[in-house]
Copies of this chain bind each other. A is one copy, B any other.
Amino acid sequence: MNRLQRALDAIVERVDTPAPIVLADVMQDNIDRMQSFAAQHNLDVRPHVKTHKCVEIGRRQVDAGAIGITAGNVGEAEVFAAAGFDDIFIAYPVWPTGRKGARIRRLAETTRLRLGVDNFAAIDAIADAMEDDAGRLQVVVEVDCGARRSGAPPDAAGDLATLARKRGLVPVGVFTYPGHGSASPDARKRAAHDQEAALTAAVHSLNAAGISTAVVSAGSTPTVEFSTSSVITEIRPGEYVFNDLNNSRLGACTEDQIALFVAGAVVSDWVSDQRILDVGTKALSREGNLEIGYGAVAGTSAVLSKLNEYHGFLPLPAGDFRPSVGTVIPVVPNHVCPVVINFEELIVTDSTGASLQRWPVDARGFLN
């Protein structure tokens, strides 16, 4: 990954560290490759914007052929709707606390809005909040496929969709998230298999209730390669746009497909064989563990062993890598999503470092 250092060197005088650097060419290749894969398997792509929270990147995904976007909460959907995105799926079993019911109703006036539901009480609460406008809101029943997180048992999907229809909402299908596919490289295929079984059962459950399933929606970057069953109509990958070390370890991307890193400066070098970088949890978030560390320096075997809020601890491996104070180096995150939300803007260049743009992380603060 020395190419990351080369790109960084070309723009370094314009980068205040720490800063998230995006290689637009690598990102565009990631977007196009996912779209080609989906086209080959007759799948719609509805990328999850949680990874980038950036309108400019969402536009590129739609320009490449995405049919709409996936959001994780109402706030993200509002930001993208205000920017002109008109087909949004909040893939989350939202409970309408506070003003959220009214916010959902307002969003549905101008956007084709889909909302996840996984339980009877929430369907009632959301239908109540929609008042006379329930018919504007499509709902998608979440079923569990083994992640043991949210999602109803697949055979309950029909009853949930029936209640939604009875309350005037528009049930359009089912979705799931194979989160257990991120446990190991081997888990990916097994989780995708579980996903197919759960979605198939959920489709049967809706159809048995007389409800058709236009939408049968699957996750996720680590499992998408195996999510090609004929029952599935759309995929909702998020991380593929940037990729990261976790996906690389799972075999879901190569290191060359990682499109985002954090530029950090060496700020202190008094402890022998250690450098302190200005990259701590306030830049990287605490994603990792003692075994894999908290982020790696591209082109080296050096890994951050510990993070404080503004400090990253970098033990130096044996060898030539002995950066002096003031050196700016590329840190590749384990998990990219919690990095992006720490920053106001992405510094966007390409592998040659020939250009530099700043794109706002538009939806970074809107997390409810």
Q: Which residues of A are at the interface with B, using a C-beta cutoff of 8 A?
A: 12-19, 50, 72-74, 92-95, 97-100, 103, 118-119, 121-122, 125, 144, 148-153, 179, 265-271, 274, 276, 278, 281-283, 285-287, 308-311, 313, 324-326, 328, 337-338, 341-344, 364-368
Residues of chain B with a CB closer than 8 A to A311's CB: 149-150
Assembly CA distance A338 to B269 (angstroms):
26
> Which of A144, A285, A328 has the most C-beta atoms of chain B within 10 angstroms of its own C-beta?
A285
State how many angstroms separate the Cβ of A356 from the closest Cβ of chain B. 11
* Inter-subunit contact A364/B367 (CB<8 Å): no
* Inter-subunit contact A16/B100 (CB<8 Å): yes
> Which of A94, A118, A125, A268 has the most C-beta atoms of chain B within 10 angstroms of its own C-beta?
A268
Residues of chain B with a CB closer than 8 A to A72's CB: 282, 309-310
Residues of chain B with a CB closer than 8 A to A73's CB: 278, 310
Residues of chain B with a CB closer than 8 A to A99's CB: 14, 16
> Of B16, B17, B150, B271, which is within 8 A of A276 by CB?
B150
Which chain B residue shows the least CB distance to A18? B368
Which chain B residue shows the least CB distance to A283? B367
Assembly CA distance A94 to B267 (angstroms):
6
Which chain B residue shows the least CB distance to A288? B286
Residues of chain B with a CB closer than 8 A to A308's CB: 149, 179
Sample 25 A-B pairs with CB under 8 A, ordered by A number: A15-B97, A15-B98, A17-B100, A73-B278, A92-B310, A93-B276, A94-B267, A94-B278, A95-B266, A95-B278, A97-B326, A118-B270, A119-B268, A121-B325, A122-B267, A149-B268, A150-B268, A150-B311, A281-B285, A282-B341, A282-B367, A286-B338, A309-B337, A343-B367, A344-B365
* Inter-subunit contact A93/B366 (CB<8 Å): no
Which chain B residue shows the least CB distance to A102? B16
* Inter-subunit contact B283/A118 (CB<8 Å): no
> Of B94, B150, B270, B326, which is within 8 A of A270 by CB?
B150
* Inter-subunit contact A118/B338 (CB<8 Å): no
State how many angstroms separate the Cβ of A94 from the closest Cβ of chain B. 7
Which chain B residue shows the least CB distance to A278? B95
